[in-house]
Amino acid sequence: MKHVINVFYVVALFVCSSCDKWLDVQPDLDIYETTLFESEQGYYIALNGLYVDMSSTELWGKEMVWGAMEAWGHSYAIESNESSFPGYVQLMNYEYDKEEAKNIAKNIWEKSFRVIAEANNLLQNIANDNTTFIGKEDVKNMIIGEALAVRAMMHFEMVRIFAQAPIVDGGTSKTVPYVTQYPSEVNPPLETNEVLEKIMIDLDSAKVLLQPFDAATSGRGYQLSWWDGKVENRLKLLNSSSGAVEDEIFRFRCNRLNYYAVSLLLARVGLWAGDMEKARENAFVVVTATEALSPLKFTNAAMIGDPAALENIEPRLQTEILFGTYNRNEPDWTNVYFGQNSSTLLAIDDKVGIFAANGDDCRLQAIPGNVHSKYMLYGLSLDQMTAAQYIMPVLRIPEAYFIYAESSFDDYKDDAIYYFNQFVEARNNDVLKVPQDITKEDFMEQLVQEFRREYLSEGQIVFMYKRLNLPLRSSAGNTANNGNLVLPVPDSEAGV
C-alpha cells in the first residue's frame, strides 16, 4: 500500500486553541518526508499525526467506539429504524454485501493501513537518524515505543474485525498481512497466529522502551503525567493546564499509548491468541498499579450515574482511561446520536436484562432513559459533563481485572476470584461478587455479564462474543454468530 506523505498534522492532538499551539506549524502546510524528519519537532509532528488519524470518525472518533462496532454487537435498539442507521443495521444482520456495510468495512481497513504506513515511515526514519536525539535517548525511545504500539494496535484491530477468531479456525486462516515497510508494495496475508505473534513482539518491544519513561519515578513522563495521580495531568481535559509548550509532547500520557496502556493492550492480544501467561502477566501490571492506588485508581462509584441527578460526575470514567483518542470535533459527532434534541438516538437495547442482577448498579443509573450518558453534554454540572468531551475511551482499567481473572482461573482460581470481586467492589456492587466454589462455566457467565454492563457504548462487546464464540445477546434473545463476525476485506485492498 503506497501513501504520499502530505501531512496535514497542523491540528495537533493537544492543541487547545489557535493561540495555544503545541507546535508552531503554519495551517495547510504540506510537510514532505524530505523535510519532516530533519528536526526533533518533525518527529513530534509525525507521531502526533498517528493519533490524529486514530481519532477520525472511521476509527476511534466514532466507528470503533460508540458507532459501528457497538451496533455490530447488538447493543443498540435500532433495527426498526434502518433508514437512520442503514450500515449499522446491515452489520447487525450480517449483510456485509450491502453498500453501507461495505463502505464501513472499507473505510476502517483503508484508514487503519494508512496509520500503519505512517508509523512505518516514522520508524524507518528514526532508525536511520543518528544525530537528532543525541543526549535524548529517552525521547527517542518514547517515540519508537509509541510508534511500534500504534502499528501493533492497528494490525490487531484488523485481526479482530477481518479475521476469524482463533477459537473458530485455530488461527490458521490467512486474512490480514503484517506490514513493516514504507513504502509498501504487496504484502500477502499471513496466518492469524503469525500476525498475533508479530503484534506481541512489537508490543513487548514498546513496553520495554516506554517503561523507564512512564513508570520509573525519574522518567520524564512519570514526572509530568503520573506522579501525583491527577487525571488532568494524564488526560488533556477541557481545563487541563498545558504547561510549557516544549513539555506538551511529554504530558497527557493517557491520550497516547503509554506503558500502562501498552501493557493492557498486550494482555488483550495475549487473551485473543490463547496465551494465558502473556495475558495474565501484562494485565497484572495494571492491576497492581491500581490496587496500590498509585499511579492508577478506579473512578469513585459515587461519580457514576445520572448526570441530571449528580453534582459530581465522571461520565466517561476518565480517571480510569489508560488510552483515549482526542478530537475537538467529537462533540459535534456525539451530539447527533446522544444529544438532548437528537432525532437519531442510539438507544441501549435490553437495558433491563443487562442490569437485572442489581437494579441499584451505578452504571444502570448512568443510562437515563435508554441513552448512555457517557457521551451526553448536559447535566447538573455542565463543566464536569463537558470536561472530557473531546476524549474517547479506548483502553480502561477494568479490562485488566477481567483479563487477569479469566487467564488465572484454571491455575490460580483464588486470585481470579479475588481480583474479579475487587472490581465488583470498586463499582459498589457487592451483591455481584462471586463465591469461592463457583464453577468455571458459571464464572465465565458472570464475567460476560459484567463485561456487558461495563463496556456499553465503547465498541468492545462484539469482540468478547467473537473471541469466545458466543451468541450475541439482545432483548430479542440470543443470536448465534456462526463465525459470521468477520467483515470482508475490501476487494481493492486484498494483499494491501
pLDDT tens readout for residues 147-171: 999 999 999 999 999 999 999 999 9
- With respect to residue 19, please indicate whether it lies within any of the assigned structural domains: no
pLDDT category, 494, cuts 50, 70, 90? low
- The DSSP output letter for 325 is E
The proportion of the chain whose per-residue pLDDT surpasses 90, expressed as a percent, equals 86
Say if CB 162 and CB 486 are below 8 A apart.
Answer: yes
| Total tally of structural domains belonging to the chain | 1
Is 333 a residue whose pLDDT tops 90? yes
In whole angstroms, how far apart are CA 453 and each of 42, 206, 268, 272? 43, 31, 19, 21
What is d(CA 177, CA 188) in angstroms, rounded to the nearest whole number?
6
| Each residue's pLDDT tens digit, 373-418 | 999 999 999 999 999 999 999 999 999 999 999 999 999 999 999 9
Q: What is the pLDDT of residues 254-273, one digit of tens each?
A: 999 999 999 999 999 999 99
pTM: 0.93
Residue 258 DSSP class? -
3-state secondary structure of 210: helix
Rounded alpha-carbon distances, angstroms, from residue 428 to 4, 219, 270, 361? 52, 34, 29, 8
Residue in this structure with the C-alpha cell 522518567, named with its chain if needed: 219
Residue that has been written with the C-alpha cell 495474565 in this structure:
280
190 exposure class (CB count in 10 Å sphere: 0-12, 13-18, 19+) = middle
CA pair distance 80, 187, nearest whole angstrom: 41
Q: Give the separation between CA 109 and CA 489, rounded to whole angstroms.
A: 8
Nearest to 396 by CA among 462, 451, 327, 467: 451
Residue 393 preceded by cis peptide, ω within 30: no
Residue 4 pLDDT:
36
CB of 306 within 8 A of CB of 368? yes
The yes-or-no verdict on residue 30 having pLDDT over 50 is: no
How far, in Å, CA of 262 to CA of 491, rounded? Answer: 32
CB atoms under 10 Å from CB of 376, counted, come to 22
Task: Identify whether 423 is part of a domain.
Answer: yes
| Predicted confidence (pLDDT) per residue in 218-259, tens digit | 999 999 999 999 999 999 998 776 666 567 889 999 999 999
Backbone angles phi, psi at 21, to 5 degrees: -95, 145
pLDDT reading at 29 higher than 70: no
The answer as to whether 11 is a domain residue is no
Look up residue 478 and give its DSSP letter.
E
**Alpha carbon distances (Å) from 215 to 48, 219, 257, 280:** 21, 7, 13, 19
Is residue 355 in some structural domain? no
Structural domain boundaries, residue 124: 33-302+396-487
Residue with cell 508494495: 185
- Interval 166-218: pLDDT, tens: 999 999 999 999 999 999 888 999 999 999 999 999 999 999 999 999 999 99
Which grid cell sits at 405?
A: 481473572
Residue 390 carries which side chain, given as an amino acid letter? Y
Average pLDDT over residues 416-433: 98
Query: Could you tell me if residue 149 is inside a domain?
Result: yes
Q: Which of 149, 265, 271, 255 is nearest to 210 (CA)?
A: 149
Amino acid occupying residue 133: F
- Note the pLDDT of residue 341: 85
Residue 284 lies in a domain: yes
Question: What is the band of 9 on the pLDDT scale with cuts at 50, 70, 90?
Answer: very low
Q: Is the four-CA dihedral 349, 354, 356, 362 of positive or negative sign?
A: negative
Task: Tell me which of 452 and 82 has the higher pLDDT.
Answer: 452
Q: What pLDDT is recorded for position 125?
A: 96
What is the structure's pLDDT at 247? Answer: 79
Q: How confident is the model at residue 340 (pLDDT cuts 50, 70, 90)?
A: confident
Please check whether residue 373 lies inside any domain of the structure: no
Would residue 116 count as lying in a domain?
yes
What residue ranges in 181-286 does DSSP mark as E strands? 190-191
Query: Does pLDDT of 17 surpass 50?
Result: no
Cell of 269: 492480544
pLDDT of residue 185: 81
- Give residue 491's pLDDT: 83
* Summary mean pLDDT of the chain: 91
pLDDT for 60-102, tens place per residue? 999 999 999 999 999 999 998 889 999 999 999 999 999 999 9
Question: 119 with 154: CB under 8 angstroms?
Answer: yes
Residue 103 has pLDDT above 90, yes or no: yes
For residue 186, the model assigns a pLDDT of 86
Residues composing the chain: 496
- Selection from 213, 197, 338 nearest residue 269 by Cα: 197
Q: Domain with 141 in it: what CATH number?
A: 1.25.40.390
- What DSSP state is assigned to residue 169? H
Sign of the dihedral defined by the CA atoms of residues 318, 322, 326, 332, in that order: negative
- DSSP string covering 444-476: HHHHHHHHHHHSTTTT-HHHHHHHHT--EEETT
